[in-house]
Chain A
Amino acid sequence: MALGVYLSRCGGLVDAAIDVDEALANVREVAAVACVVDDVFDPIVVAAIESDIREGGVDAVVLAGNSAEHLSKSLSAGHLTRRLVSAGVNPNRIVVANLLEQVALAHPGDRIGATRKAAGIIDVAALFATMSPEVESIDLEPKRSVLVLGVTTEAMIAAQRLLQLGYEVVIADRGNGSATAASATVLKSTSAFVRGHARCKFIDGARLVDGDGWLGDYHIQIQSNEGSRRIVVGGILIARPDSAEWVAELREHFRVDVDDDGFARPLDPHNHPAETIDPGIMVVPVRVDGTAHRDKVAAADSVAMALVLRLSQTTVSHYGDTSAVDEALCGGCATCVRTCAFGACTLDENGRSHVDVRRCRGCGKCVVSCPVGARDIVSSPHDYLIEAVRSLSRVPVDVGHARVIGFLCGGCGYPAADAASEFVAQRGQGYPVTFMPLRIPCGGRLDTLYVLEAFKVGFDAVCVYRCRQGHCHNLIGNLDMDRRINLLRAVLRSRNIDDARLRIVDISPTEGERFVESVEEIYVSIASLTNGKGAAV
């Protein structure tokens, strides 16, 4: 495996806070290429990485700089990833090391500590890039049709744009949507165009009762005044993100995140204001009373454009971010079947477990609950996570300073750690630099073995970040984790490890301040504990 590591200065922000050469020192021993660049999005840099892949045989890439959240959502990052993939790197081997938000901006004024931490995070990304199996892709031709949920001004404008571009549009409303549209006093002509269009259908009194699928190919069962019907669309547009009913029904079947008010929210309001976790489902920003008409038009246009960008490709690639079963190990205990909140697991007639990849979200709950290790998630493999815990424990800390590992759920804790950089900037002071972040896809992916290992390798405390109740992007990953972790406390106590060293933090993706407070709290509380930390005998 030839590893290429590209450390982005992020326009000078990263090298202002850390010593970039020092941060690369460890990884230079294992990497074929390890270099510092100004900005990974720079066309010249992209071309250089491509040539390392094509001519230098680089087949695993670490992009050290911006946050994973930023990189997985922004369009320019999507473009960068596609170029690296077409140059020949499997997408599971393109890994981000978050140096900007979670190191450089989080620890101003501690250059030595921040540099050590950056090196540790790069090492973990290198582990991921080299240990992860390749993911397989499924290519499909996107359906040129869109389901719009809720009749609003923005919905009608977006529908008009989509119809004009040749798409089919189904508009579902909980009440009488066609009547609402007809009675619209503003934009009468838009409404008339949509209602009269041959490729547009209204479904009134609609409820979403079942669904599965992906960007390009969603299968949805809708119950309405006229009975039940199944529709197949390429994308979904949530025009009523404030409708608790729509949002709850969608979240049963698709990856849609909610904000603190329970409204469907775009994942990255700054870079891509329409896109949810599921890339084929777009959110029209919540309407505030008195929103100017032109703003509604602009919002509707941008949402329609975002969907069109996705659906106008000739093929979309879905990489299998799913659970895989090793049949040689599965004995058919059915724990995974019961556990999977998405109904993606079944046992076949021989008693072996199977995954329905179209339903699987890669949340990892089944992996954790499989007692024989017959399951794994290709994009977050067990062996990598165990190795990452060990690797982070080797980051040097000054004598007398406690080490804490934070398992950050990708749906809440990780974006909150990114958001914490803004809070740090406001108050002008970082949080303890010996707090080591490790991203997991969902609180439900947290295996008790990782917590035990963390104590064994010498961490003084373990913090687990998980979504607030009712907000879990995998429905119940957070509650499952709570139950496991609370049972694990008995195990820790049996070895004289104070269970105050294990903390669960519930958090929302935007709560940077709470993130910082939670980190500082754990340092305060372990300072008063005398009773043994890990270090197995």
Chain B
Amino acid sequence: MSKPTLATVSLGGCEGCHVALLDAHEGLLDILGMADLVHSPFNGTETIPDRVDVVMVEGAVTTEEDLRRLRACRAAAGTLVAIGSCAVLGGIGGLRNLSPLSQVTHVAFGDTTKSPLLPRLLPNVHAVTDYVAVDISVAGCAPETELVVAALVAAITGQPHELPRRNLCDECHRTKNTLLMHSREFVSDAVYALMELDHIDEDSCLLEQGLMCMGPMTREGCGAKCTAMNVPCRGCSGPSRLDFESGGKAVDALAAILPAGALMYLEDLIGTGYRFTMPVSVFPAIVDTEESDNG
């Protein structure tokens, strides 16, 4: 009996998720022992074969070409695995949905006509789930190598695959102190940027120190590697309940424990709350004004 086939495809992303897969080093040999890699950015074949047992997709749908390739992936794939926050949530590139396409192209390319050979940008960035059904999703930017490998092994062997569903605080090593006490005072009197603080306590919760940690709004699974390095979680794994907006929930949760005034003066409240999830938010793109409808 021949081995199952595997293809990996990169849509509108940075190929960082593929790098996460390469980071498995010898672990990759296990995967290649289980499946034949028939198509991937590593081996350079042009087109996606008609029939592949497992297809891993990285990246968001940002151009007409992405969409065509995504549809080809779905048609070919027995099991479709979406890897990374771009594919699952729209990802960081999805922040372009905050502006109308005309403004985006003006800023990026200027007003001169672009080459007709370039793929045309879609009006908005989309997660792959906006167009096709996905069997296994692993968000993260990039996801932990072990999570990518585990998802592919599950897909190849036909095992069920489940991600943890709690928030990141569950696996963060930091301890809470003032958050554990009910009080009508906020846990911190201000919200600080990382470099504003002379000293960051290694062991206590970053929120309690006035740093914007997205841990509460973010799915665990990455091992809380950022908070372990004194860096607040930016929320790259997205919300643990996909019907919850991480931005809306950041507002709901943080307004209860940090002064809203301080949050409002954050450089970029929207970018903070929706950094990886704009395309899957309730309003995935800006609502055009009547003027721009007419124009």
Closest B residue, CB atoms, query A368: B252
Beta-carbon contact of B264 and A530 below 8 Å: no
Does B94 touch A at the CB level, under 8 Å? no
Beta-carbon contact of B260 and A333 below 8 Å: no
Alpha-carbon separation in the docked complex, A531 to B293 (Å): 11
A510 to chain B, nearest CB (A): 28
Beta-carbon contact of A496 and B287 below 8 Å: yes
Beta-carbon contact of A531 and B167 below 8 Å: no
Instruction: Return chain A residues, CB-CB under 8 Å to B287.
Output: 495-497, 532-537
Does A157 touch B at the CB level, under 8 Å? no
Instruction: Return chain B residues, CB-CB under 8 Å to A490.
Output: 264, 269-270
Closest A residue, CB atoms, query B281: A452
B270 to chain A, nearest CB (A): 5
Closest A residue, CB atoms, query B176: A334
- Chain B 251-262, CB within 8 Å of chain A: the 1/0 string? 111011100100
The listed residue with most A CB atoms (<10 A of its CB), out of B217, B281, B287, B290, is B287
Stretch at the interface among B16-24, B47-55, B181-189: B181-189
Instruction: Return chain B residues, CB-CB under 8 Å to A488.
Output: 248, 251
Beta-carbon contact of A534 and B283 below 8 Å: yes
Instruction: Return chain A residues, CB-CB under 8 Å to B273.
Output: 491
Q: Provided the pairs A329-B240, A331-B220, A333-B169 are in contact, do residues A530 and B289 lie with their beta carbons within 8 angstroms?
A: yes
Alpha-carbon separation in the docked complex, A452 to B248 (Å): 8
Q: Which of A333, A365, A495 contacts B216, CB < 8 Å?
A: A333
Q: Which of B247, B253, B283, B288 contacts A370, CB < 8 Å?
A: B253
Q: Provided the pairs A331-B166, A347-B180 are in contact, do residues A369 and B253 lie with their beta carbons within 8 angstroms?
A: yes
Residues of A482-525 at the interface with B, using a CB-CB cut-off of 8 Å, are 483-484, 486-488, 490-491, 494-497
Stretch at the interface among A173-181, A336-344, A425-433: A336-344
Beta-carbon contact of B166 and A339 below 8 Å: no
Beta-carbon contact of B256 and A335 below 8 Å: yes
Alpha-carbon separation in the docked complex, A408 to B93 (Å): 38
B250 to chain A, nearest CB (A): 7
Does A269 touch B at the CB level, under 8 Å? no
Closest A residue, CB atoms, query B100: A496
Beta-carbon contact of B285 and A480 below 8 Å: no
Does A56 touch B at the CB level, under 8 Å? no
Beta-carbon contact of B166 and A330 below 8 Å: yes
Q: Which of A337, A341, A449, A480 contacts B245, CB < 8 Å?
A: A449
Beta-carbon contact of B282 and A453 below 8 Å: yes
Q: Which of A338, A343, A372 contacts B257, CB < 8 Å?
A: A338
Beta-carbon contact of B260 and A487 below 8 Å: yes
Does B63 touch A at the CB level, under 8 Å? no
Closest A residue, CB atoms, query B269: A490
Q: Which of B168, B183, B216, B263 contacts A487, CB < 8 Å?
A: B263
Does B165 touch A at the CB level, under 8 Å? yes
Beta-carbon contact of B270 and A491 below 8 Å: yes
Beta-carbon contact of B184 and A341 below 8 Å: yes
Alpha-carbon separation in the docked complex, A329 to B282 (Å): 22
Does B124 touch A at the CB level, under 8 Å? yes
Closest B residue, CB atoms, query A447: B252
Alpha-carbon separation in the docked complex, A455 to B167 (Å): 28
Beta-carbon contact of B290 and A530 below 8 Å: yes
Instruction: Return chain A residues, CB-CB under 8 Å to B28.
Output: none
User: What 12 new A-B contacts, CB under 8 Å, besides A333-B215, A338-B179, A484-B251?
Assistant: A333-B216, A338-B180, A339-B257, A340-B182, A371-B216, A447-B252, A449-B244, A456-B283, A476-B184, A483-B260, A495-B286, A530-B290
3 closest A-B pairs by beta carbon, nearest first, are A331-B170, A331-B166, A331-B167
- A: residues with CB less than 8 A from B are 328-335, 337-341, 343, 345-347, 351, 365, 368-373, 447-449, 452-453, 455-456, 476, 480, 483-484, 486-488, 490-491, 494-497, 530-537
